[in-house]
Copies of this chain bind each other. A is one copy, B any other.
Amino acid sequence: MSSVTKENGTKGTRMRAEDRRELILKAATQVFGDYGYFGTTTAVVARAAGVSQPYVVRVFGTKEKLFLEVLQRALDLLMHEFRAALAEESDIPLADRMGLAYVGLASNRGLLLSLMHGFVLGRDPEIGPEARKGFMCVYRFLRSEAGFDADESQRFLAGGMMINTMIGLRMTDDFDRDADVRELLHAAFPQKLDVLLALAEPPIAERNGARA
């Protein structure tokens, strides 16, 4: 087809490269979140973004660079939310405010999970160093800007990793089926569990692209 009609609804009128780039980053965040770095193909990302596969590669150079940009963008959004929670006037304790901000990020599809996928690839020579840098960036924020001590910071991060794991496991899928799951999720998400349960999140693609 020469007249472009994207399947994601947006008519294929031309876009400024910068906007299209952001659109691809959003799509890539979702797909990487679902299948991880190695499980994701540029073709699936392209389809999710409504562009051709070679275009994805041309805009970002390589799949690896695309993933690194996804990580960076996710971290930027995360830090933005944390700073907003820090600046906010409220009676709620800071740790709780930031916890709420963190859970809120779960509604940004794939964002926390892409980060988590990066965190478990520390062995990779390109991804590993960036992932460590990103994680430590959050830690330093907690220590110096948020005013947490080392142990508070560690516990806050542990809670975050727990949340990431619950999302990654898609534990909410068993919420109706298993009372223990309900109990665990209520403990892991003292507030805002409803937000998480509201996210049905159908798979991004029928997995016809990525490898088995």
Contact = CB atoms under 8 A, between A and B. Distances in A.
Given A153-B187, A170-B122, A180 B143 contact: yes
A18 interface: no
Interface of A: 34-39, 63-64, 113, 116-117, 119-123, 128, 131-132, 135-136, 139-140, 143, 150-151, 153-155, 157-159, 161-162, 164-165, 167-171, 173-174, 178, 180-181, 183-184, 186-188, 203, 210-212
15 contacts: A36-B38, A36-B120, A39-B121, A117-B120, A119-B169, A120-B169, A122-B170, A122-B171, A122-B173, A131-B169, A132-B174, A139-B180, A143-B180, A151-B187, A153-B184
Given A36-B121, A131-B169, A161-B165, 8 more contacts: A38-B210, A63-B212, A119-B165, A120-B168, A121-B168, A128-B173, A154-B184, A157-B162
